[in-house]
Amino acid sequence: MLDLRSKAMPKKKLHRLFSSFRTLRPWYLLVLLIISVTVCVLSLRANNQHMIKLRTAVFTADKNNGNLQLALQNLRGYVYAHMNTNLSSGATAVYPPIQLKYTYDRLMAAEQTAVNATNAGVYTAAEYYCQQQNPVSFSGRTRVPCVEAYVQQHGQQVQAIPTALYEFDFISPTWSPDLAGFSLALSSLFLIGFIFLLIDQRWLIGKRKYPK
């Protein structure tokens, strides 16, 4: 008997809580709903503004050749952990939203410098090779085609740089466990409770009076 009574106690408590909840006036929850929605909107706006600040830090580090990895890490971590931090700025925005122009230019310049250094060595080797092939020729007429062919065969071209080195896209979550996320969840609960009380007290049981 004790076990049955102990199991029945939670049901009685839940019933009492539900009955107490039904006696609340709907406008109580409406006020709480307005407050939680206001907090949610302000929090979402703050999330987006902080994302913009971190994104600006990334572009600044890209331009000034600063600590780009740290700036990207801070931006990525924040976007992944907070709602309303999408990086795109509209339907006509470029994709991906983070494109590091100055990093790309530096990478291309480094690639071009490396290729030029390699080709300089190839050209020197080509002159030596063609001189060995035509040792009795004092003019360059017979050596020029040889040098051009050698450089074309052994020289290097500037290679395309992987986009992963200068293009990034971070996606924010649908819901996040921060102030914006919790206030959104509370807003949903207050809205559901408000609608339930409104129906329960005004439509279905319209004759029942509110407690004083």
Residue in the block written with tokens 């572009």: 59
Q: Would you state the structure tokens that stand for residue 165, as one six-digit string?
A: 């080195």
State whether residue 85 is helix, strand or coil: coil
Mean pLDDT within 186-212: 73
pLDDT in tens, 47-98: 999 999 999 999 999 999 999 999 999 999 999 999 999 887 666 677 889 9
The verdict on residue 206 lying in a domain is: yes
Residue 10 belongs to a domain:
no
Whether residue 9 is contained in a domain is answered as: no
Q: What are phi and psi of 168, to 5 degrees?
A: -140, 150
CA distance 55 to 75: 6
pLDDT at 164 over 80: yes
Tell whether 31 and 75 lie within a shared domain: yes
* Residue 110, in any domain of the structure: yes
In a domain, 107, yes or no: yes
DSSP-based three-state secondary structure for 98: strand
CA gap 194, 139 in Å, rounded: 97
Which residues constitute the domain of residue 120? 101-165
Q: Which of 178, 163, 165 is nearest to 85 (CA)?
A: 178
pLDDT for residue 161: 86
C-alpha distances (whole Å) from 101 to each of 46, 65, 89 are: 28, 11, 18
Q: Are residues 149 and 189 in the same domain?
A: no
Residue 152: inside a domain, yes or no? yes
Q: Are residues 88 and 107 in the same domain?
A: no
Rounded CA separation 134/113 (Å): 31
Q: Is residue 90 domain-shared with residue 172, that is, in the same domain?
A: yes
Number of domains in the chain: 2
Determine, yes or no, domain membership for 17: no
- Is 144 a domain residue? yes
